Amino acid sequence: LLLTLRVRGLRLAIATGKSGPRARSLLDRLGLLPFFAHVIGSDEVARPKPAPDIVRHALDLLDVSAERAIMIGDAPTDIASARGAGVASAAALWAPPEDVDELLAAGPDVVLRRPADLLALCPSVSAR
């Protein structure tokens, strides 16, 4: 999935509630760090989720407008953070969230039931 998104020309960032160093270390150990242009931890912004700060920071680092981005999350705070930043949101249900009903009640723009569903939302950059 990540390789397909990269081939399509999409640049990805992670905006996590974990600390930035911890998240980058974990992704590096898993061999996934190279797939992400930026990994931002909650310790690297003024206010953590559900505030929009971390999403806005990701947009700035990626040099992309809110209208051309989507936030995929598995928690209501992800959806709220995206909404506050003016970014579309998608609820990821493939790794069952702690509370699916609460996540869906947060009002995501899209519900993704499996990772491959993301590919339908993300055509290649040249196709846009």
Tens of pLDDT along 72-94? 999 999 999 999 999 999 999 98
For 95-124, what is the mean pLDDT? 90
For residue 97, the model assigns a pLDDT of 67
**Torsions phi, psi of 37, nearest 5?**
-65, -35
Q: Give residue limits of the domains in the chain.
A: 2-127
Distances in whole angstroms, Cα of residue 95 to Cα of each of 68, 84, 104, 112, 117: 25, 24, 14, 11, 14
pTM for the full predicted model:
0.92
Residue type, 1: L
The percent of residues in the chain predicted with pLDDT above 70, rounded, is 96
Q: Is residue 47 over pLDDT 60?
A: yes
Residue indicated by tokens 């590919």: 119
Can you read off the two tokens belonging to residue 107?
């009002």
In this prediction, residue 48 has a pLDDT band, given cuts at 50, 70 and 90, of very high
Q: Report DSSP state, residue 96.
A: -
In this prediction, residue 24 has a pLDDT band, given cuts at 50, 70 and 90, of very high
Peptide bond into 97 cis (omega under 30): no
CATH of 2-127, one of 3.40.50.2000, 3.40.50.720, 3.90.45.10, 3.40.50.1000: 3.40.50.1000
